[in-house]
Structure 1
Amino acid sequence: MKQIIKTPNAPAPIGPYNQAIVANGFLYVSGQIAINPQNNELVLSSVEDETKQVMDNLSAILAEAEFSFEDIVKTTIFLSDMSLFPVVNEIYGSYFTGAFPARETIAVAGLPKNVNVEISVVATKA
């Protein structure tokens, strides 16, 4: 059985998907971009601000599902350019206090709404 996770504290999906799904003890969070859920506007003032908004969106979804960053076992980071990696990596890392999850970081040709950063996660309490 799967449970759909939905919170107004993270951006509503911009396509036919959900913010997250819990299934068999795992939380699968859809890729998040820097949309401010309060006004539905992109936060693109800087890569730092963009990354922080992405991480805050992930945090809101995790909280709604009663998970935390400590429960994350896998992340995927998509970047518009690998030159952004050091800045994104520093901000991303600041959201974790314990053991880091497994991760891959990929530079892609394009992301939704022409953003620079998209991050998805998988978490479990097992």
Structure 2
Amino acid sequence: MLHEVVTGADVPRPLGPYSPVVRTGHLLFLSAQTGIDQSTGAVPEGDFEAECRQAFANIEQALRAAGSGLQYVVKTTVFYADLADLPTINKVYADVFPNNPPARSAAIVGLAGGRRISVDAIAVLPG
């Protein structure tokens, strides 16, 4: 089965040699998004929650650019740097996915550039 790289001005810019969004059939595979605001290139001012919310906003932006949305996410993987941030991640996750949340894996890892969270996703196209 062939795959297509989703491109366009609204697709978050990759930070390396990878595709931010790949479509194959009715599935979308989103590369991990950090809490970098795409318009400023910086992490939003504030605490970890602001960075966490920005990571999910970037996921939402990538999904919209590919013709989907948060309600079509079936799986996420959350990479984060500090176990103490898990309650905040759970709070934001519940806000982002208030009904029928997707499956999730999570791992504590070291992230490049001092980032504290990175989230990837698998979603379906509506229809």
Q: For residues 11 and 85 of structure 2, what CA distance do their matches in structure 1 show?
A: 23
Partner in structure 2 of residue 113 of structure 1: 113
Q: CA 1:43/1:11 → structure 2, altered by over 3 Å: closer, same or farther?
A: farther
Q: Against the structure 1 CA distance between its residues 52 and 122, is the aligned structure 2 distance closer, same or farther, given a 3 Å change threshold?
A: same
Q: Which amino acid aligns with 2:19?
A: N
Residue 33 in structure 1 maps to residue 34 in structure 2 = yes
Are 1:75 and 1:120, in contact at CA under 8 Å, matched by a contact in 2? yes
AA at the equivalent of 1:120:
D
Contact 1:10 1:37 in 2 (8 A): no
- In the TM superposition, what whole-angstrom CA distance separates every residue of 1:31-60 from its partner, at most 9, and x where no partner exists? 000111112112363111001110110010
CA distance in 2, matches of 1:92, 1:7: 27
Listed as ranges, the gaps of 5+ residues in structure 1 are none
Contact 1:76/1:120 (<8 A) preserved: yes
CA RMSD of aligned residues (A): 1.6
DSSP-derived class of the 1:35 partner:
coil
Identity of aligned residues (%): 26
Number of aligned pairs?
125
Listed as ranges, the gaps of 5+ residues in structure 2 are none
Moved over 2 A (4+): 6-11, 42-45
